[in-house]
Structure formats: C-alpha cells, structure tokens
Amino acid sequence: MQKRNLPVIVFLFFLTMNEVPAQDLDVVQKLRESFPISVRYQKDENEKKLEGELGGGIDFGFGRTREYVFNNTFGFYPKQLLSLLNWPIENEVNFFLLLKLKTKYGLVIQGRFGAGVPHKSGNIEDFDWLNVQINPSRRELTNYSEHENFSAYNFYANICFSKQFLMPQSKAMKKKNVFLFIAPMLRLDYVQHQWESKNGYIQYSAKGKYGDYEALSSFVPKIVLHGKAIDYAQRILMPAIGLEILLKAPRGFEISFECSGAPALYANCLDIHWARDLIFNDIMKSGWNISACMRMCKKLPHALVVFGETKIAFASGKNGVTYCKQQEGFFLLPSISGTDFLYGGISFGLMYHFETKH
C-alpha cells in the first residue's frame, strides 16, 4: 500500500464509524445507563436548606420538692435524717416559648423557655429529728410544723442538640409513606423555683436538762402562727444525654418519644426560717436526673403546627454542704444536705413552621 493512499483510507474509516446502526445505538445507550462513568450533581429545587418552628404554649404541672438534711456529727456512724421539708407543687400553670431549627443534614437545635403564674400550692410540712445530734440511735420525731404554701415564681429553660438518622423503611412503611428517625441528643436544663409559706402552726417539743428533746406527741401544744413562716428558693442545673424516636406519618402527623438523663447535677438552695431568724444555704455538686416525654404534632394549613405532650422528670442532689447565717454571718454546719423533685405535666402549644431553600 502506498503512503499517498493512507489519508483516503483513514477518512473512509471514520465515515463508516459515524454510520452506526440503530440497534447498536440502543446497546450503547443501555450500557451508559447501566455503567455511568460520571454523574453531574443537579440541585433539587425543593431541597430544604433550613427549616424550623417558632411558637408557644401552656404547661399544667404537679409534683413535689423535698429538702432534707442528714446529721454528720458522728462521722463513724451512718448518717441519720435530721430535717425534712415537703414542698408540694399543685395547680402549676406555666407559659412557654419554643424555637426549633433543623438543617438539611439532620442537625436539630431546640430551645424552650417558660415561666409560671404565682399561685397557692397546698401546704408545706416541716419535720425535725433533733435528738440524732446527741445520740444517733434516737430517731423519734421532735418537731413538726405545717403552713400554707405559695409558689412565688418559677422559671425554666432548656436547650437541646440532636442528630436525626433515617431508619430503613419496610415495604409496609414505604407503601404508607411512613418514616422513622432515631436521634441521639445532648441537653441542658435549668430550673429556678421559689416558694413562700405563711400562717399555719408549729409543734416543738421541750428541751430537757440534758440537752435532748422529748418525743413529739399529741400532748405537745400547737402554736398558731400569723404571717411569714418559711421560704425556699431552689436553682438546679442538669446536663443530660438521651435518645429520641420520631415517627412521621401521612397527613402531617408526627409522634415522638424521648428519654434523657445523667449522673450529674448542680443545685443551690436557700432556706429562710423567719420565726427563728435563720438562713440555710445548701449547695450540692453531685446527683442525677432523668426525664421522659411523649409528643404528638399535627400540621395545619397556613404553615401552622399544633402539638400536645406529656412528661415526667425526677432529679436528686446529694452530698451537699450547708451554711447557716445568723447575726454574726455564715458558718459551715456539720451536716449533709440534699434536695430532690418529682414533676409531671401536660403541655399544649401552637407553632409556625418556616423553611428556606437553595
């Protein structure tokens, strides 16, 4: 073959290659679909960059708070209960604001702030076992008092960070368009509450010549009081880790359950006894907390969301120190203080749903 004919042959080769039969084109197209070499990303116009909910609601709560003191005079002897005060939580009504933000990556940040309405909240009871300071085996009740209890103010706030993971769908879930999410969470709760008591009566046993007290009985007279009796202010900070299970159903329904807790707690409590002119400051840097909540939401027209929830929480502060203030100032007592609360309630609220897109 002569070299001068080579360009002609190359031209004829490429000309025939461009004339590919239709059936061969179908085969090539199928291969490209089955084995894509490169896929160019295309933006989804409906993809949500950020969505959130802003709203508020009302809480109805009940429960009780206790403050207690253990005698620690005899370090070699197991601690004995010295004092116990029961502060009931009744007819509590709180109003709250709620903000929730969620990114397209499933990161959720939620904050909630609430404050209560001052109200009458049952009767406070105060118990003392003063003889354990002299003899740890003397466990008879020596003092008792009861007063009208009022919730002066209460405030709470919490912030929660979580990451939602979409779980695999079963055939039934796909058919009914149901989605299940699991979300580990970190949260921080702050609670501040103050009670004020007044009126009522006291029963204090007489002190003997050896420094001990008589056991309390029906023969000890009741002394009626008028005016201020005891005030109690409580501030508690509770970090926790937890898990949320979220089920999204058709027609805008959502059901979720969450549980959180941790062996961590900080509490600072102030106890004022007006009749005795005494102030006790209890500080606890150890304890634990646990809470659970179930929530149901329903999306409404005009980007509104209505929800209801029920919750329960328990926290306990332990191994605290107590400072007592009299006229000469604060001094440390040889005792171990503690506090705990049990709270349950239901909430109803309305939120506005908003979102931004690319």
160-189 pLDDT, tens digit each: 999 999 999 898 898 889 999 999 999 999
CB atoms within 10 A of CB 205: 21
User: Can you tell me the mean pLDDT for 194-205?
Assistant: 95
User: Can you tell me the mean pLDDT for 210-226?
Assistant: 91
**Structural class in CATH, domain 49-357:** mainly beta
Check whether 211 has a pLDDT greater than 50. Answer: yes
Question: How are beta strands 266-273 and 286-300 bridged, if at all?
Answer: unpaired
Tell me the H-state helices in the chain: 6-18, 22-34, 171-176
- Closest C-alpha to 181, from 261, 109, 260, 108: 108
Q: Where are the domains of the chain?
A: 49-357
Buried b (16+ CB within 10 A) or exposed e, 79-102: bbebbbbbbbbeebebebebbbeb
**Cα separation of 92 and 119, whole Å?**
7
> Chain-wide mean pLDDT for the chain?
87
- Angle made by CA atoms 172, 177, 181, in degrees to the nearest 5: 95
Model confidence pLDDT, tens digit, residues 300-330? 999 999 999 999 999 999 999 999 987 677 7
pLDDT of residue 26: 59
- 37: amino acid identity, one letter: I
Beta bridge partners of 334: none
Model confidence pLDDT, tens digit, residues 113-158? 999 999 999 999 999 999 998 888 888 999 999 999 999 999 999 9
Helix (H, G, I), strand (E, B) or coil at 77: coil
CB under 8 Å to 79, separation ≥6 — which residues?
A: 70, 71, 72, 336
**Cα separation of 192 and 175, whole Å?**
48
Check whether 39 has a pLDDT greater than 70. Answer: no
- Closest C-alpha to 145, from 211, 271, 229: 229
